Structure 1
Amino acid sequence: MENAYQAPVSNIEQQSQEYQTPRIWSLRGRIGRLRFIAYCGLMPPILVMLGILFGLIIPLLPPAVARSFRDMPPAFVGIALFVVVMLFIAYFAVRRLRDMSYPIWLSLLMLVPYIGTLPLLLLIFKAGDEGENRHGLPPAPNGMGVIIGAILTSLLFISGMLKNASR
């Protein structure tokens, strides 16, 4: 006879969740939403700082080389920086799409004006696959640096939107 008030007995095994530690410069693997926001948002300020450093180094170059850089039109520098930022965003978008098991060609849709915001919103708001998929293990939990980077990126984005809305 069974006791109706007896605690249930079950064989529960502790399953350890395995994670993959994402490396920022590796094209393999997956990255989560917060890491995508942090990486994409902090890349332009890093490139601007590198541009300032480059501008400080130009006077130290030989005169002929420095003159060729000074004669470069500013629009060319702006376009070059824009292309580099877009390449980095596409690079991180591919890894984010892998986290959701979506085809990587969807990252090309981000180049289409107006329509490009839809895949970007998908990358930011849709959760990735829970467990392992064909691109590897799920990314490791976010560290404090990733969380701070995502918060800074979000604050920069929101403050830019508010500044433009007040005009």
Structure 2
Amino acid sequence: MADTHFKIMFEGQLRTGVELETAKLNLARLFKSEPPAVERLFNGNPVSLKRGLSHTEAQRYIQALNDAGVEAHIEPDPEISLSLDEIDQPRPDRAPVEHAQASSPYAPPKADVTSDLPRYSTLRIFSIQGRIGRLRYLAWSLALIAASLAATSICFAVLSVSLVGGGLLSTIAFAAFVIVSVQIGTQRLHDAGWSGWLLLLNLAPFIGGIFPFLMLLIPGNTGPNKYGAPPPPNSRAVKVLVGLGLVLLALFVTIMLNSGVEVLKRELETTASEYEQSLPYDDDSDSNEAQPAAPTPGKMF
């Protein structure tokens, strides 16, 4: 009875939509190696990345490589497959072969791919590394706005006591708001495969009014890109926070619209009243002209 083992073969093929440099960076991160060492795997020649795997382990290995953006396939490994009939037979010394394979320039780095490559990236709010999706970006932005409103209230309270202390606290709060906004904005751009430097477009005229909406609308890459693995699925807390934020936003917009209508109505009434008061009133003069002149004394007809 034989125990069949499998090996992972790679020929430098990329998954659809994955760039070569992105795949090299992902494999370098996967193998915990330098990018130049991984470039040897993309010469077009078949390379055995891992041998002596069970079918389940081979499937996990293939999934990890697919997440890294490359295509590989499973082949039986008869050299390592065991048979009960071969137990009593002396096995040749494989040390020279293994040494030769390790010294080969085409040998891949030795690493347990199935445990090294995370399926999803790690969430880090205070960092420009990593990726976040649209919904999580909106949730984090709403949380940042809420924290900013609370910090603003504290700053005003301190300003009423000390101008210097309040001004210093306001400067620190504003700097923290800008830094965190840049960090989460960069991660949102990374999810779409864009550079974080594109945040500078927010400072450009006209484009700055459109680009924040693009960050909320443009979907991210489904697989890994040059900025790392895809973000984890949205948690229930993220969905609840976004839903609550949208409800509060709708309520705020409704209140603002009603207030605006009331202000406009009062302005129209005031303008109409002032216009009526500015009109000339000639009722007295018209009535005087309509009365007949009084007869002159001493003149009789």
TM-score, length-normalised on structure 1? Answer: 0.69
User: In structure 2, what residue type is equivalent to 1:49?
Assistant: A
Q: Tell me which residue corresponds to 2:139.
A: 38
Aligned partner of 2:196 in structure 1 is 104
Structure with greater proportional strand content: 2
Structure 2 matches for 1:6-155, cutoff 5 A? 15=63, 18-50=119-151, 52=153, 70-72=162-164, 81=173, 84-155=176-247
Query: Alpha carbons of 1:124 and 1:133: their partners in 2 closer, same or farther (altered >3 Å)?
Result: same
Rg larger for = 2
Structure 2 residues not aligned, in runs of 5+: 1-58, 68-118, 261-301
Match of 2:251 in 1: 159
Q: Distance in 2 between matches of 1:73 and 1:113?
A: 34
Q: Is the 8 A contact 2:142 2:245 kept in 1?
A: yes
Pick closer, same or farther for the CA change 1:90–1:154 going to 2, 3 Å.
Answer: farther
SS in 2 for 1:90: helix
- 1:88, 1:103 → 2: CA distance? 17
Q: In structure 2, what residue type is equivalent to 1:160? A: F
Q: Post-superposition shift, 1:48?
A: 3.2
Aligned letter for 1:161? V
| Structure 1 residue ranges (4+ consecutive) displaced by more than 6 angstroms after TM superposition | 73-80
**Secondary structure of the structure 2 residue equivalent to 1:39:** helix
Q: What 5-or-longer segments of structure 1 have no aligned partner?
A: 1-12, 59-65
The residue type paired with residue 159 of structure 1 is L
Q: Structure 1 vs Structure 2: percent identity of aligned residues?
A: 26
Q: How many residues align?
A: 146
* 3-state SS, counterpart of residue 211 of structure 2: helix
Letter in 1 for 2:135: L
Q: Residue type matched to 1:107 in 2? A: L
- Please tell me the root mean square deviation across aligned C-alpha atoms, in Å: 3.4
Residues 50 and 79 of structure 1: CA distance in aligned 2, closer, same or farther (over 3 Å) = closer
Which whole-Å CA distance do the structure 2 matches of 1:153 and 1:96 have between them? 19
- Could you tell me how far apart the structure 1 residues matched to 2:173 and 2:205 are? 19
| Distance (whole Å) between structure 2 residues aligned to residue 155 and residue 71 of structure 1 | 36
CA distance in 2 between partners of 1:78 and 1:112 (Å): 25
Separation (CA, whole Å) in 2 of partners of 1:161 and 1:114:
23
